[in-house]
């Protein structure tokens, strides 16, 4: 394994760090409230960073999302890249790739995901989808949603054809409730007749492909959001280190106290574990190797260790950590949201255990 960034990946990461650092400031985040920073999103797309993900791969995306997480930038970068760019590029039909990828790359098409499948959405016999996805991150910004039905088939739905109601989450992710009532949809991969119907008999003979596509998209999402969590934790820890080095108690910096050093050291090790496991899962996908177990491992570390790190960041800031005027509280909110998104630690650990128990872990 070699996680050393390529020249293109390093260049994209450095550009992302500069844009996020310049534009995702405390004042701009405060002004945005719980909504998206439209100007920042436009800057990222204009710089070609969304379109570049097709070239830099999942590992490159993880590097970019680390930079977003450091500043808790409020843009649908992870969602549109995972559920849009990578999903369509890997599993879309040639027609879908030609039609959708340019718009996703330039930001005119934004895709979110109603995943994982929870049995709340069904495809009707006469076509169209019905059901409800209670919480879809970045739904308020999305033009399309990748929806998993009760049989783990993936469908692309235009938000203009569905009912979308705002929902507030722990983190400011512009989320919404998606309600479908015979809503037109197209299968990812194009296995439909244009009105939501599948070709006769096709769905009954292709369960393996359906499961593979669904599993790949979910594993990709878990890996990407683990990378985002690594950045959130790194940002929280950096703020805590700066605070404890300048804040004095009894004439000495808080950082001089052994208890503070130990908390910070544990948070650093947890952050590195999240980063390393996300890198491994992403690298394996880019290399065409099985990575389901590695994605679950990264998701477990992002959930379990992530919430420890952001709690440490709050604790080491003392009373300032609870002040909404202080930027560190955003890392806490994002870390807690990412802790539960796509499955909390115990859920992904159960999935990983089942993979191992049933001998489905490939090397």
Give the number of other Cβ atoms within 10 Å of residue 259's Cβ.
9
Q: What is the bridge-based pairing of β-strands 144-148 and 111-114?
A: parallel
How many alpha carbons fall within 13 Å on the CB side of residue 181?
Answer: 3
Phi, psi for residue 292 in degrees, rounded to 5: -60, -45
Please determine, for residue 361, whether its predicted confidence score (pLDDT) is greater than 90: no
Give the predicted TM-score (pTM) of the model.
Answer: 0.93
Pairing of strands 163-166, 121-123: unpaired
Q: What residue has token string 């920042």?
A: 40
* Residue showing tokens 């970068």: 77
pLDDT at 204: 47
CA 40 to chain centre: 18
Q: What is the pLDDT, as a whole number, of residue 205?
A: 53
pLDDT tens, 3-52?
889 999 999 999 999 999 999 999 999 888 888 999 999 999 999 999 99
CB 234 within 8 A of CB 267: no
Residue range 95-141, pLDDT digits in tens: 999 999 999 999 999 999 998 876 689 998 777 999 999 999 999 99
pLDDT at residue number 1: 75
Q: How many CB atoms sit inside 10 A of residue 70's CB?
A: 24
* Residues 125, 186: Cα–Cα separation, whole Å: 14
Question: Per DSSP, what are the bridge partners of residue 113?
Answer: 146
| Spatial strand order in the sheet of 154-158 | 111-114, 144-148, 154-158, 186-187
**H helices present in the chain, as ranges:** 7-23, 26-32, 38-46, 53-71, 77-79, 87-91, 94-106, 207-246, 258-286, 292-316, 328-340, 345-357
Mean pLDDT (the chain) is 91
State pLDDT tens for residues 162-188: 999 999 999 999 999 999 999 999 999
- For the purposes of burial, counting CB atoms within 10 Å of the CB of 233, is it exposed (0-12), middle (13-18) or buried (19 or more)? buried
pLDDT at 206: 61
What are the DSSP calls for 153-179, one per residue? -EEEEEGGGSEEEE---SS----EEEE
**154: β partners:** 148
Residue 196: the pLDDT is 43
What separation, in Å, do the N-terminal and C-terminal C-alpha atoms of the chain show? Answer: 12
Cis bond upstream, residue 116 (ω within 30) = yes
Which has the closest alpha carbon to 73: 109, 112, 113, 37?
37
Strands 144-148 vs 154-158: parallel, antiparallel or unpaired: antiparallel
């Amino acid at each position: 394994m070699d996680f050393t960034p390529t020249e293109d990946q390093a260049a994209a990461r450095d550009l992302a760090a500069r844009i996020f650092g310049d534009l995702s400031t405390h004042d701009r985040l405060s002004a945005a409230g719980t909504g998206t920073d439209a100007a920042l999103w436009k800057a990222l797309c204009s710089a070609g960073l969304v379109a570049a993900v097709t070239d830099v791969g999942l590992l490159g995306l993880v590097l970019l999302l680390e930079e977003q997480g450091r500043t808790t930038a409020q843009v649908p970068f992870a969602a549109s890249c995972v559920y849009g760019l990578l999903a369509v590029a890997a599993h879309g039909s040639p027609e879908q790739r030609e039609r959708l990828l340019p718009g996703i790359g330039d930001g005119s098409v934004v895709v979110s995901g109603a995943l994982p499948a929870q049995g709340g959405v069904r495809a009707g016999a006469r076509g169209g989808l019905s059901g409800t996805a209670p919480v879809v991150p970045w739904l308020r910004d999305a033009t399309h949603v990748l929806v998993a039905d009760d049989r783990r088939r993936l469908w692309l739905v235009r938000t203009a054809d569905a009912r979308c109601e705002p929902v507030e989450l722990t983190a400011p992710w512009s989320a919404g409730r998606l309600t479908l009532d015979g809503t037109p949809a197209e299968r990812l991969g194009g296995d439909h007749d244009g009105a939501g119907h599948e070709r006769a008999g096709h769905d009954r003979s292709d369960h393996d492909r359906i499961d593979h596509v669904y599993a790949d998209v979910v594993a990709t999402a878990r890996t990407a959001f683990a990378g985002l969590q690594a950045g959130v934790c790194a940002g929280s820890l950096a703020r805590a280190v700066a605070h404890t080095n300048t804040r004095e108690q009894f004439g000495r910096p808080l950082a001089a106290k052994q208890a503070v050093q130990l908390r910070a050291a544990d948070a650093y090790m947890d952050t590195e574990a999240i980063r390393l496991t996300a890198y491994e899962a992403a690298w394996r996908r880019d290399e065409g190797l099985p990575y389901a177990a590695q994605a679950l491992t990264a998701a477990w570390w992002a959930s379990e260790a992530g919430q420890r790190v952001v709690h440490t960041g709050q604790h080491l800031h003392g009373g300032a950590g609870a002040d909404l005027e202080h930027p560190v509280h955003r890392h806490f909110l994002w870390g807690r949201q990412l802790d539960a998104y796509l499955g909390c630690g115990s859920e992904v650990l159960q999935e990983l255990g089942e993979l191992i128990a049933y001998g489905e872990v490939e090397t």
